[in-house]
Structure formats: C-alpha cells, structure tokens
Amino acid sequence: MSLPARPLAAAAMLFAHVPPVIFGALTPDYSHVRQFISELGATGAPYGGIVSLGTFLPAGVLLMLTCAALTRRVPSTRTAHLGLAMVALIGLSWVVAAVAPCDAGCPAEGSARQAVHNLAGAVGYVGGGVGFFMLASALHRAGASAARVAATAACGVLLVVGFVAMARPELEPVRGALQRVMELAASAWILATAWRAPATP
C-alpha cells in the first residue's frame, strides 16, 4: 500500500510553518529575521515544550513519511530514491531538534545537547542539499523539464550555501530570514512534487 503523498505533504508543511509564526508572535521580542526557528523551542523558551513536541516532532515525522511517499513522483532510479532519502534528513533534524532543544540563543557552542542539536542541523541542511543535487541529476537524466531540474538544483544550492551563511558572524542579524528562505524553498519543492501525477505505477 502506497503512502498518500498530498495529505502527508500538506500536514508536514502545516506543522512546520504555521506554529512558528504563531508562537513567534506570542514570544516577547522574538524576531523571525534575526533568530533561528529552533529558538522557539529552546531550553527556557516560554513555549519551548509545546513547540518542540507539538511542532518540530510531528513536522519531522510527517516530512520523512512524505519523502517516502514521493518515490512514485520522481524517476524510479536509485539516484532519485537516495536523493529523497537525503532530503528526508531535514525531517530527521527536526525530530532531533524536538528531543535535543538548543540552549537559549542557539549558540555555536554550548551544552552537549546543543552540540547534538547543531550536528543534526548540519546533517539535515547539508544532507538535504546533497539530496536535491542528486534529484536534479536524476530528473535531468529522465528528461524532466529544464525548469524543474533548475528548481531542484536551486534548492540544493540554497540549503548548502544558506547553512554556511547562517554561521557567518556578519550575517547574524538576518540568519533567521536565511533559514526561513531555505526551508520554504525545500517545502515548495516538496509540495509541488506531491501534487504532480505519479511518475511510476
């Protein structure tokens, strides 16, 4: 029995993007431009537990299930399926963020829990970026449109370059905005792919 791609994708994006907007508005002095999404679930955050277990955890699980469901909407090749598995690492990083919330401010260095959180973020963004490059290659070989191939590769560039940029001290005032652009790009690709007709029977 195949997994339903469209409901899973819609639910994953709902959990991933709507609650952070709501809890960001409820959290005093929180800035979507300056601060990471994970700071809403950080240790000591006003709604940390709710955000971690009620947002990051279900969003991550749903995203991984969505990637599994999307195998019928990409070329039926090892490269494409491995690429989707790599993109699913983004969802895994959200699950880890739920059980290993960052320290206040999500610093580059901190507690052991912060180290786990940072490692998960690196695996999710860099691994997801590599996954999009693999998907772009598989789509190109399968004769997909140039626009679809370019959009897929662009997601890979945004994730990898964005992850590096977020660590730059001079870009700290806009690191939250960078993260949101990265995640929205990946989410847009996932939704667009979920709404495509299945490529394989």
Per-residue pLDDT, 198: 72
Element (H, E) at 7: helix 5-26
As averages over each run of 10 residues, the pLDDT of the chain (201 residues) reads: 88 96 96 96 94 96 97 95 98 96 91 95 97 98 96 98 94 96 97 82 47
The secondary structure element, H or E, covering residue 3 is: none
Confidence (pLDDT) at 186: 97
> Rounded to 10 degrees, what is the CA torsion of 88, 17, 132, 69?
50
Phi-psi region of 106 (alpha: psi -120 to 50; beta: other; left: phi over 0): left
Q: DSSP string covering 34-93, please?
A: TS-GGGGGSTT-TTHHHHIIIIIHHHHHHHHHHHHHGGGGS-SSHHHHHHHHHHHHHHHH
pLDDT for 201 equals 47
pLDDT of residue 1: 52
Residues in CB range of 130: below 8 A, 6 or more apart: 83, 86, 156, 160
Q: Are 158 and 87 in contact (CB under 8 A)?
A: no
**pLDDT value, residue 196:** 86
Query: Where does residue 107 rank: exposed (0-12), middle (13-18), buried (19+ CB within 10 A)?
Result: exposed
Cα gap 125→94, rounded to integer Å: 11
